[in-house]
Amino acid sequence: MIFKIEEPIKNIFHLNFDKKKDLCETFMRFQEHFESPEYRGKFFSIKEYKAWYRKTSPKGKKTGRFTYNQDWSGFNIPSYILEPFKEGKFNPLSKKEKIFLKEFGNIEGKFYIIGTYGSTNLDTLDHDIAHALFYTDPVYNKKMKKLVASIPAKDLKKIHDHLGSSGGYHEDVFEDETHAYITINMPYMEKKHGITSEELWSVHKKMQKVFQKHSKS
């Protein structure tokens, strides 16, 4: 398993893997303990999660296969998620999970880990840097929460419906995800999901300004 680690912004670590499969297998349980609609805050085995994903994810339902490694390409977790793994709540750990914990398990304080693979898609990385800043930078967090609150209800409903139906997100992370998608992926939201309005584009522009400012300091 080959990967490299960078710290592009203080307390934000970017882990870049050669192979997508290694990336997904390393992050899966950490990510899903953080934001799965079913497993957030719970302890579970890899086998149990795979069975659930096959039965409930959009592609899994269609194909009967475990398509997680194709479906996801960027990962993001706050450092507190490592605690139950360190405490043995997820034992037995896979080899990849052990390597991951060894890398980050001894770092003190609040930090954030982003995972990508190959030559990094800049939008994927920025989406995850947005999550990281939302967690590590209190001023950024406050500004973005205010902007999310300014999104018209009809647009917000569409965004939440989208987050709910893509199968990957627990309600608790909707605010954070809304901020990341509208800041970074607004063209994609419009083109792919028809989520667009004049007001939403104006919120996007304001969010972009906040993001540019805080991701450069």
Which residues form the interface with Zn ion (CB under 5 A)? 177, 180
CB of 173 to Zn ion, least distance (A): 8
SS3 category, 117: strand
CB of 127 to Zn ion, least distance (A): 6
Cβ-based neighbours of 86, under 8 Å, separated by 6 or more = 101, 105
Q: Which is nearer to Zn ion, 82 or 173 (CB)?
A: 173
CB of 45 to Zn ion, least distance (A): 25
CB of 64 to Zn ion, least distance (A): 27
Q: What is the largest CA-CA distance in the chain?
A: 50
Q: Which is nearer to Zn ion, 60 or 168 (CB)?
A: 168
**Of the candidates 52, 83, 79, 82, the residue with the CA atom closest to the CA atom of residue 68:** 52
Q: Which is nearer to Zn ion, 94 or 208 (CB)?
A: 208
Q: Which is nearer to Zn ion, 156 or 180 (CB)?
A: 180
CB of 156 to Zn ion, least distance (A): 16
Q: Which is nearer to Zn ion, 25 or 177 (CB)?
A: 177
Q: Which is nearer to Zn ion, 155 or 177 (CB)?
A: 177
In this structure, are residues 38 and 24 in contact, taking their beta carbons and an 8 Å threshold? no
CB of 164 to Zn ion, least distance (A): 14
CB of 109 to Zn ion, least distance (A): 23
Query: Tokens standing for 206?
Result: 């304001």
**Of the candidates 111, 105, 110, 103, the residue with the CA atom closest to the CA atom of residue 86:** 105
Residue 208: burial class (beta carbons within 10 Å; 0-12, 13-18, 19+): middle
SS3 category, 74: coil
In this structure, are residues 157 and 149 in contact, taking their beta carbons and an 8 Å threshold? no
Q: Which is nearer to Zn ion, 87 or 123 (CB)?
A: 123
User: Is the Cα dihedral 133, 82, 6, 96 positive or negative?
Assistant: negative
Query: Tokens standing for 191?
Result: 């083109």
Residue of closest CB approach to Zn ion: 180
Query: Tokens standing for 167?
Result: 């199968």
